[in-house]
Structure 1
């Protein structure tokens, strides 16, 4: 991430797996010039994606809200992801990054990997898909899916841990936030048995996930303790921000399913990552291609 910039800065970030069309860049400059002075363009591209930042000094009394929508519509039509940030997030960068895990930090749904060992993957995947679209209550869907794992040898957890793959750009995003002095948390509707070692390997500062109940070396088909659901995700985001002394304005949340919507709304910037349509529609911004570090480009960094 770049160094802090003067107060009153506005940043429009544009990211894409392909070069950003020149016409869209001209439009972005025009949009930012409506609310800011001393506008400049910076190349923020990294390996795997192209990025441009249009930044300037926000004029007193200017309202950036309409500018966000004026930029996002044409950009989305051209396959480019955008965000427009102001305030402390624009000047000081990310104070706290909070991410979902399954299909966000990692490429798979852990419960489906476990279900493959139990011979119930297709059944579990169908319930997962409906829950991610917001068609099912998450806690109820989790109970239904975990019940399909009953009797599975707990040794399968080691096989699943070995099979988990980080989403491209995940390590780069975590490292960039840490290098700039920020903190990182992961909050998962998946399982601590897989998430905790992964979080430790990445140096992640906060972690919470569901815990699978095991009896005599086999999964019981139940979880232990409170379920990490939509409400819990938002609560943990707020608690971590408070503990770290970070204003919510400087919190960035990233997730892909309906279970993430409350925490995306609570953050200064909520990012839908390769997400279901309902999540893309409600989030502040989206990354529509599988490079997690493109979140940096949305922030113009």
Structure 2
């Protein structure tokens, strides 16, 4: 088995799910969430410092999550489906490891045929209102994605692991993955561009890099 692990937001899809959830609450909330998200993704503040704070500001309902899940699918990276189909045919098993929200990612993952999502589940009350999130989910903190990859390696014993993503939390996986590929189509973050072994602006560019 060979694992190809994808971030979701700004990688498999053009959107940042947290930003789009915020947009549904109005421009003022959106601007604050966008600021916090970029600060975390650029490595200026620890992810865990902003994770719960952003959700408390947004209070995302189950209805909001459904809307953004559809948007995530609508804004899919243009070459994602064909690329993942080719990778799977070449013996790679795709997995999503994301600091985004499980329920938002699920429609996109289903379309791509990706069965496993390691992300952050949201909780809802019976009326669909926001009731919190899984605070134990590893991607809610810096160093969380390497923890997930270490767990996957122990569980699946792959012969090779490649990570693809746009953010600092993805870059952190370099010590666990055999290769890290920076993705710059939607967000070319300076630290990722400078420190990634390789960068691509389209997912289809990954295939020749894997040999």
The bucket for the TM-score relative to the shorter chain is 0.7 to 0.9
* TM-score normalised by structure 1 residue count: 0.63
Q: Who wins on radius of gyration, i.e. which is larger?
A: 1
Partner of 2:101 in structure 1? 191
Paired with 2:107 and 2:15, the residues of 1 have a C-alpha distance of: 16
Paired with 1:251 and 1:142, the residues of 2 have a C-alpha distance of: 27
Q: Does 1:114 align with 2:33?
A: no
Match of 2:203 among 277, 280, 292: 292
With over 3 angstroms needed to count, the CA separation of the structure-2 counterparts of 1:298 and 1:182, relative to structure 1, is closer
Identify unmatched segments of 5+ residues in structure 2. none
Match of 2:189 among 239, 260, 276: 276
Which stretches of structure 1, 4 residues or more, deviate above 4 A after TM superposition?
Answer: none
Paired with 1:96 and 1:139, the residues of 2 have a C-alpha distance of: 27
Deviation of 1:103 (Å) = 0.4
With over 3 angstroms needed to count, the CA separation of the structure-2 counterparts of 1:265 and 1:214, relative to structure 1, is same
Match of 2:65 among 157, 180, 199: 157
Deviation of 1:260 (Å) = 1.2
The C-alpha deviation readout for 1:218-257, integer Å capped at 9, x for no partner, is 124x32241323422112222223333313xx21101111
The answer on whether the counterparts of 1:149 and 1:219 sit within 8 Å (CA) in structure 2 is: no
Deviates more, 1:223-232 or 1:108-117: 223-232
Match of 1:235 among 128, 134, 147: 147
Matches within 5 A, 1:30-179: 95-119=2-26, 120-150=29-59, 152-164=60-72, 165-179=75-89
Paired with 1:196 and 1:176, the residues of 2 have a C-alpha distance of: 21
Paired with 2:210 and 2:142, the residues of 1 have a C-alpha distance of: 25
How many residues matched?
A: 201
Partner of 1:67 in structure 2? none
Deviation of 1:292 (Å) = 1.1
Paired with 2:205 and 2:50, the residues of 1 have a C-alpha distance of: 31
Partner of 2:123 in structure 1? 213
Structure with a larger share of its residues in helix: 2
Paired with 1:235 and 1:142, the residues of 2 have a C-alpha distance of: 17
* TM-score normalised by structure 2 residue count: 0.87
Paired with 1:154 and 1:96, the residues of 2 have a C-alpha distance of: 31
Paired with 1:213 and 1:205, the residues of 2 have a C-alpha distance of: 21
Tell me the secondary structure at the aligned position of residue 105 of structure 1.
Answer: coil
Deviation of 1:198 (Å) = 2.0
Paired with 1:108 and 1:265, the residues of 2 have a C-alpha distance of: 27
The answer on whether the counterparts of 2:69 and 2:106 sit within 8 Å (CA) in structure 1 is: no
Paired with 1:170 and 1:199, the residues of 2 have a C-alpha distance of: 11
Structure with a larger share of its residues in strand: 1
Tell me the secondary structure at the aligned position of residue 203 of structure 2.
Answer: coil
Tell me the secondary structure at the aligned position of residue 160 of structure 1.
Answer: helix
